[in-house]
Amino acid sequence: MLKLMYITNKVEIAQTAQEYGVDWIFVDLETLGKAERQGNIDSVKSHHTTQDVAKLRPFLNKAKLLVRVNPINPDSSQEINTVIMNGADIVMLPMYKTNAEVKQFIKMVDGKAKTMLLLETKEAHEILDETLKINGIDYIHIGLNDLHLSYNKKFMFELLVNGIVDDICGKIKKTPIPYGIGGIAGLGKGMIPAEKIICEHYRLGSSMAILSRSFCNTDKEKDLSTIKKVFEVGMRDIRKFEISLENYSTDDFIRNHQELGDLIKNIL
């Protein structure tokens, strides 16, 4: 089963997500350069704080607490130390472009939490062979939003059918490091059916995904009982679909990949 993450800094939403089987609650501190990179696309622009990490920590007894910090900068050591002190289980580094940054990040975490690299730049892809030789990397997540911008592509899911994600996954798969890809909506939601994307995760050996705003947009939906129902039904349906994939053959996954390619060509 995929480890599923949900981005929130609200206690009641985090508790709901945890109750219905979300594996990791995701606090997002990244602000440096993000608005400039993603200003023209409809992506999440977070306003979370280090205090949110401490606020959520007492309420998470099943789900892990994942915190995305800012890219390496003069304040990184202080920010990383604070989120670990406040209870982060996993610290995620975004927008790295050099292995020096990766090593610096791992040194700052210093074994006090798990480390996750967010591979979302062309440069990070180009140095991946050397990155995978560095000790101390616990997880890698492939960020399709910024990665498709880095490659000057029009649509983030293009990367699933043009060979880029296949190449990245093929390299990581040779190591013991678990890896994930982008986000997924609820079944039957999203520009590309979530079922098609989940099949790609299984074809590529991915073990992690972020539940997107299309799964549950708590900026628009404020009623907690409705939100609970969305998580209850949405998580149940995803897990049921994952179980059905146990019966898929290699040919089934290849066929899904080809159908996904046709959908993406039509969108483009």
The overall average pLDDT reported for the chain is 94
Query: Residue 40 above 70 pLDDT?
Result: no
Contact 180, 206 (CB under 8 A): yes
Contact 141, 119 (CB under 8 A): yes
Closest to 143 measured CA to CA, from 163, 117, 162? 117
* Max Cα-Cα span within the chain: 50
> Each residue of 102-111: pLDDT tens digit?
999 999 999 9
Residues 6+ apart with CB under 8 A from 99: 127, 130, 131, 134
The whole-number average pLDDT for the span 54-71 is 98
Burial of 243 (0-12, 13-18, 19+ CB in 10 A): exposed
Of the pLDDT bands very low, low, confident and very high (cuts 50, 70, 90), residue 20 is very high
Whole-number pLDDT of residue 228: 97
Distance of CA 181 to the CA centre of its chain: 6
CATH of domain 3-267: 3.20.20.60
Which residues partner with 114 through β-bridges?
90
Whole-number pLDDT of residue 189: 83
In the chain, where the domains are located? 3-267
Contact 242, 2 (CB under 8 A): yes
N residues, the chain: 268
Residue 64 DSSP symbol: E
Q: Which helix (H) or strand (E) holds 232?
A: helix 224-244
Query: Residue 93 above 80 pLDDT?
Result: yes
Distance CA 102, CA 218 (A): 33
Query: Residue 4 above 80 pLDDT?
Result: yes
Distance of CA 34 to the CA centre of its chain: 16
Q: Is 0.85 surpassed by the pTM of this model?
A: yes
Of the pLDDT bands very low, low, confident and very high (cuts 50, 70, 90), residue 45 is low
Cα dist from 214 to 3, 6, 84, 210, 250, whole Å = 18, 11, 30, 11, 29
Whole-number pLDDT of residue 209: 98
Two tokens at 17?
Answer: 């997500």
The whole-number average pLDDT for the span 41-66 is 88
Q: Which residue type sits at 40? A: N
CA atoms within 13 A on the CB side of 197: 28
> Each residue of 168-225: pLDDT tens digit?
999 999 999 999 999 999 998 878 899 999 999 999 999 999 999 899 999 898 899 9
